[in-house]
Structure 1
Amino acid sequence: MSYVAQGSPENIALAQQVNGRLRAESRIVTARAFLFRSIGLGAFAALSGVGIGAAAYGWATLNQFDTAAEKIAHAMQTALSDVTLKTKGEVTLTDNVLKLEGLPKGNGVPTPTKAQLGSEAAPASKAPVNTTFTVFKQVPYMDGQIVTGWNFRANEEQPYQQYCYFSRRSGEAKGQVEIKIDLAMDGKTLPQPQKSDVNLGILSTNCVWHDGKSL
């Protein structure tokens, strides 16, 4: 058995080796701790980014300007603006503008001819045909006109129905829009609407009835 004296070269070398080993293990532990901290911070940053992105998407969805209801309303408005209504079965005359040829001029009052009334025309079913025509009287009023219509049956001198309304056109972004307010029927003013600034009684004084007075 041999004993190494304290402070001998062998003890010094052993102490240096032990210190070196401890320092190496300490560096390994420090490196592992740094690695775990880096992984944790990276995961936290990634999850934070995902959360912020999801929150931004949700906010944009809830605060978008064009909602589904607005898109539907816009589509309906576009469709209705292109609709054209047509009626058939009635001959309409006006004493202001008449572009049909062949009418007797006489005193300037248009009168439908037999050919224009088409008294011989009949449907394929051979069902009876009722022929009517309308005469319009128009009185300018403010930015529109008061229109009175006289509905006549063929070969009758008196109208079977009369009606009166106010009409004017207003310019809109997509074209002209006609505003129509019914005023009277058969010489009598219609009931005044509760929520309306238009006085039907005043406007109906401009209606032109066939016999010159209320029926």
Structure 2
Amino acid sequence: MADENPDQGSAPGTVRPGGRTARVRSAVLDAAGDALAEQGFAALDLGDIAQRAGVGKTTVYRRWGSPTALVADLLLDMAEQSAPRTDTGSLLEDLRANARLVQGTLSDARQGPLFKAVIAAATCDARTAAALHRFYETRVGEWAGCVEQAVQRGELPSDTDPHEVVRAVSAPLYYRLLTTGAPLDEAAADRAAEAAVAAARSGAYVRR
């Protein structure tokens, strides 16, 4: 995913600033994340966010303008702040690290509800959906390098789609989060990675 705003162009909240403006942005995005985790997207209110962040309401309205633009900026910041991928020299170990990162995020007391709220919002708001899609494309693109290296080492068929392999790692974890309510543990993460690697080695993700 390119670092661009879902609405295209230079909409508010899309340029990474410095100095005091950076501190304001950080405080507002933290407050927005807390509010999403606690109340969901439907209750997101810029005035409440300003109060939580300890900044002027006018500042928040001028910079972001709408809850949707604020969520888009939050997702952009989350993508930028996410941990870099590992490089162990082993596809299974790399993807196990990826799965455990996803598992740790989704089982976190704050991050899990936050992602649920954003995913729910994306089902009925096109701008939020676009921002969420770009967030995941950024993260999948980051970790696709693990699969590309595995192809170069001869671990996988030459025409394997790296992005599909990475998506296959996190898909069962999100499914479990959203449909079962069962706890996400490291064993679930490891199974997801092992299943994705086995499928990739069998040629399941070869481009057709």
TM-score range (shorter-chain normalised) is under 0.3
TM-score normalised by the chain length of structure 2:
0.22
Structure (1 or 2) with the larger CA radius of gyration: 1
Structure with the largest fraction of helix:
2
Structure with the largest fraction of strand:
1
Bigger relative contact order, structure 1 or 2 (CA pairs below 8 A, ≥6 apart): 2
